[in-house]
């Protein structure tokens, strides 16, 4: 959009964010006062509390709210962004806003706000602003699909990477980009057939001077064009033109890239495990709440199991074994003891009976298992103490099963070790997809499938499928 309209739209966004935050505060107060008391509260507030000091504090609060949204990059108006990132930044901004509300309320006493009311205010603000932003995006994309509010984009590099970018961009007309053409280091013989080559790289300054260009995408090969890319970015930066540099330098099939910053240094992080962010934080919060609740609910069962184990052979209740977890960190795993006390010492005597391929040791009728232990394993009750590991942060409710040190050191293929890129879990995909009947390779492949497909929804589905797997006894030990 033209610069004057862009400025007006920015002012509109900023005004609406502050208006919605103020509305959220009013709704919070209304919900915490009876209706007749709320009206009286507003009258009292208007007559008694609008003082110079309070007016200054309210002004400071509005300024902090505005700056919070500004610092979280919510007014950049970039089209090539992820919706999830914007929602996360809104959440962080309203949390800062709630904190500022608590502080100014305590200093000036211009409003009475408790911690729970501040949390209610943050939730209402988040819902109102997210709803507003989503509606705005829908309206803008509706107009852009019809050719309005378009931005002119210049592509630098007509090779395979440039062709792939244009193909992807054409799939998203709602972003509102019109590709002017492309420039390259050589005259194209067979490049982007649907785009005009405007010239070679050395003609870029004159092209920029003569054409209306809003944004530029650099898609030149990095290895052979490093110096030219550096010069192009310097030229565009000097003239204030927004530039996007394609970052898929290494053509990885598994790794995801993410920009990162350190003391003024910019770099690209590659990760093949689920990206850290609000989803993994939400997973950890759910783990803590669910593990604590289950521990409390299962406490009577813990006592009964402990009594049964003690009555059978008077040995220890728990079996504690070192396992290998996240990024090969070693940790003590807790289980109810299901084998004889000297089970580890007798391991060498029965290793030749192993029924599993690969480094994993498992036999169907292990002679070391006790009578109580057989029942605990069949019902998976022996795994319940691992809720303690979840609380300690060594494990999650859902994730690849933690391997013993012996088994982990036996993994010889590099791809198998990617299972250590996430926290191990009490239950996982292979346990609800055939469990003990799977081959070692199928087990490893299902672990990697879980990592590649991971989402909160997948975790919940696995947890729900674990219940019938345990009740029918079709789960793995």
Give the chain's domains with CATH numbers: 3-145 (no CATH), 151-247 (3.40.50.720), 278-471 (no CATH)
What does the pLDDT look like over 121-143, one tens digit per residue?
A: 999 999 999 999 999 888 888 88
Phi, psi torsion values for 50, nearest 5 degrees: -85, 80
What pLDDT score was predicted for residue 54?
64
pLDDT at 359 exceeding the cut of 70: no
What pLDDT score was predicted for residue 430?
81
Question: Which range scores top for mean pLDDT: 121-135, 187-201, 243-257?
Answer: 121-135
Contact 403, 324 (CB under 8 A): yes
pLDDT at 47 exceeding the cut of 60: no
Reported pTM: 0.60
More confident residue, 186 or 299: 299
Phi, psi torsion values for 340, nearest 5 degrees: -65, 160
What does the pLDDT look like over 448-474, one tens digit per residue?
A: 889 888 888 899 999 998 888 777 666
Measured at the alpha carbon of residue 247, what is the angle toward residues 244 and 248, in degrees to the nearest 5?
A: 140
Instruction: Please give the average per-residue pLDDT across 364-380, as a whole number.
Output: 86
DSSP per-residue codes, 43-76 = HHIIIII--HHHHHHHHHHHHHHHHHHHHTTTTS
Instruction: Please give the average per-residue pLDDT across 330-347, as a whole number.
Output: 87
Contact 318, 336 (CB under 8 A): yes
More confident residue, 268 or 409: 409
Measured at the alpha carbon of residue 123, what is the angle toward residues 103 and 25, in degrees to the nearest 5?
A: 55
Long-range contacts of 172-175 (CB under 8 A, 24+ apart): 173/144, 173/145, 174/141, 174/142, 174/144, 174/145, 175/79, 175/80, 175/141, 175/144
Instruction: Please give the average per-residue pLDDT across 372-398, as a whole number.
Output: 92
């Amino acid at each position: 959009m033209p610069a004057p309209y862009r400025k007006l739209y920015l002012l509109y966004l900023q005004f609406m964010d502050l208006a919605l935050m103020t509305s959220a505060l009013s709704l919070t107060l209304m919900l915490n006062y009876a209706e007749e008391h709320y009206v009286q509260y507003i009258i009292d507030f208007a007559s008694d509390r609008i003082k110079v000091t309070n007016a200054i504090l309210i002004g400071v609060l509005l300024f902090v709210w505005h700056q919070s949204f500004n610092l979280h990059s919510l007014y950049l108006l970039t089209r090539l962004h992820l919706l999830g990132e914007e929602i996360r930044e809104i959440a962080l901004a309203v949390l800062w806003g709630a904190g500022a509300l608590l502080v100014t309320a305590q200093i000036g006493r211009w409003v009475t706000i408790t911690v729970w009311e501040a949390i209610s205010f943050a939730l209402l603000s988040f819902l109102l602003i997210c709803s507003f932003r989503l509606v705005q995006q829908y309206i803008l994309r509706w107009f852009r699909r019809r050719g309005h509010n378009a931005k002119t984009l210049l592509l630098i590099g007509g090779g395979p990477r440039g062709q792939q970018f244009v193909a992807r961009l054409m799939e998203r007309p709602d972003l509102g980009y019109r590709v002017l053409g492309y420039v390259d280091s050589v005259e194209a013989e067979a490049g982007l057939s649907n785009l005009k080559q405007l010239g070679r790289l050395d003609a870029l300054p004159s092209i920029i001077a003569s054409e209306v260009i809003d944004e530029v995408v650099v898609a030149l090969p990095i290895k052979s064009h490093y110096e030219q890319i550096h010069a192009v970015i310097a030229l565009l930066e000097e003239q204030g033109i927004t530039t996007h540099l394609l970052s898929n330098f290494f053509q990885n099939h598994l790794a995801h890239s993410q920009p990162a910053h350190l003391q003024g240094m910019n770099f690209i992080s590659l990760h093949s495990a689920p990206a850290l962010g609000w989803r993994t934080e939400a997973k950890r919060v759910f783990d803590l709440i669910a593990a604590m609740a289950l521990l409390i609910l299962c406490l009577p069962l813990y006592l009964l199991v402990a009594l049964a184990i003690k009555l059978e052979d008077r040995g220890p209740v728990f079996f504690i074994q070192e396992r290998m977890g996240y990024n090969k960190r070693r940790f003590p795993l807790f289980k109810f003891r299901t084998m004889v006390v000297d089970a580890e010492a007798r391991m060498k005597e029965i290793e030749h009976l192993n029924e599993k391929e690969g480094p994993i040791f498992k036999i169907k009728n292990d002679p070391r298992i006790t009578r109580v232990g057989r029942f605990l394993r069949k019902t998976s009750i022996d795994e319940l103490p691992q809720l303690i590991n979840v609380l300690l942060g060594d494990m999650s409710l859902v994730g690849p099963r933690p391997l013993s040190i012996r088994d982990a050191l036996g993994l010889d293929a590099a791809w198998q070790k990617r299972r250590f890129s996430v926290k191990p879990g009490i239950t996982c995909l292979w346990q609800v997809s055939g469990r003990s009947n799977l081959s070692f390779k199928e087990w490893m492949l299902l672990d990697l499938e879980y990592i590649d497909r991971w989402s909160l929804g997948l975790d919940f589905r696995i947890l729900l499928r674990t219940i019938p797997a345990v009740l029918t006894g079709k789960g793995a030990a």
